[in-house]
Amino acid sequence: MPKKKKGKKKKGKKRVAPEPPPYYKVTLPQNYLFGEVIGKSLFVKNDLEDEAQRRVDALNAKSLTLNLQTMKLDELPLRLHRLINLTTLNLQGNNLFSTERLFAILSQCKELVEINLSYNMLNGSLPDTVDSLVRLQKLNLRGNEITQISPNLSRCEMMTEFDIGNNKIVELPVEVFHTWKELQTLKLKGNKLSFLPPELSKLTSLKYIDASKNNIASLPGQAFNDLKELTFLNLSTNGIVSVPDELGSCEELSYLNVSDNGITHISGSIFLKLKKLEYLFMYKNKIVALPPELGAATSLRIVSFANNKISSLPNGIGLLHNLEEIYVGGNTTLRTLPGTVHGWKKIRAIYCQGCTKMKSLPFEIELCTTLKDLDLNSGKKKQTCQYPKDLKEKLPKLKIRGKYIIYSLHTNHTLYIFSYTCMLFVAHFEIIYTNIFYLTPQYMINRWQTKERQKRQKLNAKSSNSIGGTISIPGSKIVPLSNIF
């Protein structure tokens, strides 16, 4: 093979590194001292500690309230234990970390009724010395690193509000459920609880429970048997698979949140007793079908079944006359809304975004006169949802989002009539009566009759036959309405 000729390599252009950004001169004052910034922060901390000490010294034995919020305290001020008549103490947002040293001092103020220790650095377990605070009614320990609660806390029998949210509690002591007869508020959010004990039902005065963002996998039915005054229950973001039927015994319940769990089914018997339920959130679950008894909870105002596996909504949902907002977005198998939507007399928003198989809306949606927001955005370029032609005219304030197709009512050949014993095909429509509560509105029949009458008159202008009060079927005899209904 011929040898390649050796030659000089062509020199490429030299790559020049980018110029560094310009340096800006910083001029320091002549009296600047090294570490002045750090020193100022220390001085501020010391000033706050001095201020806290002055507030304690300014009080006397008869003082009732002390506020030391956000004072950057590592330790309690001196002589705090002398305030023997102190009833309210606020230590929120400090740097307290030792629970033993803290409660060793607080246990001497035996008249304390309310203590706020939220958002500190408290760690470990709540010490046994807390049993000295027999008059304690409100204890706030939110936002710390507490891992265990002493069973001696059960001796605080006057407790009405207990907040242990955003800690590292694994288990609640059973003893407190036997003695806290006056407890009304229990906040357990953001811990590591794996279950709720059945003894929870002994807290008969309980009105508020927030156990969201834990590791709860199951709910014992016995825990809700005697909670007759419970109004608020939040169990979202757990691992709950089923909701016990005993929850229906909480007849005063107005807020229920079981979203972001693994629930696949919910019993209809629960809603038969929850007559005062106003807010229901069940989004981000694995629910396939909703029970028809849902319509029995007639006080519902806002419901959310978004991001489930629901393919159809029950007709009973039309009995929710007080419904204001409904969220069903993210149910990819949901095809349409039930024809009983005309029962939503106060509805103002319907959110169906992400329902990729929803192709049409029922014509009864025109009766939702208070509707202002309708979201049909499926997230797909080609997917469209049909709605009645007169919808914009009937509801001028309605805002529709997403892709949609307008269809006219008289070209729709599916209007169904069912009775309990028969199904009749009249003209090009089929009207279905599934239940006496879910009848198609009479005005739809009257409107159809009027349009058919106008068509007939145009075609047979010279005809003297009147079709009022009858239904004309093309290619057949005139059928009186009295023979049908």
- pLDDT (tens digit per residue) in 35-87: 555 555 545 567 788 888 888 888 876 778 999 999 989 999 888 888 888 99
Strands 65-67 and 478-480, sheet pairing: unpaired
- Coil, strand, or helix at residue 393? helix
25-32: average pLDDT: 67
Fold of 46-192: 3.80.10
Q: What CATH number has the domain spanning 288-407? A: 3.80.10.10
Boundaries of every domain in the chain: 46-192, 288-407, 448-483
Where residue 484 falls among pLDDT bands split at 50, 70, 90? very low
CA angle in degrees (0–180, nearest 5) for 126-131-137: 90
CA 28 vs CA 32, 34, 43, 55, 463: distances in Å: 6, 11, 21, 38, 104
Q: Is the pLDDT of residue 376 over 50?
A: yes
361-367: average pLDDT: 89
**How far apart (Å, rounded) are the C-alpha atoms in residues 423 and 413?**
15
- pLDDT (tens digit per residue) in 229-254: 999 999 999 999 999 999 999 999 99
User: Against a cut of 0.95, is the pTM above it?
Assistant: no
- Coil, strand, or helix at residue 432? coil
Q: Is 474 exposed, middle or buried (0-12, 13-18, 19+ CB in 10 A)?
A: exposed
pLDDT of amino acid 445? 55
* Residues in the chain, overall count: 485
* Structure tokens that stand for 401 in this block: 């989002």
Q: Is the pLDDT of residue 118 over 60?
A: yes
Q: Is the pLDDT of residue 317 over 50?
A: yes
Averaged confidence pLDDT in the chain: 82
Cβ atoms of 89 and 112 closer than 8 Å:
yes
* Structure tokens that stand for 117 in this block: 């220790």
**How far apart (Å, rounded) are the C-alpha atoms in residues 297 and 246?**
16
Where residue 25 falls among pLDDT bands split at 50, 70, 90? low
DSSP state of 8: P
Alpha helices in 169-307 (DSSP H): 175-179, 269-273
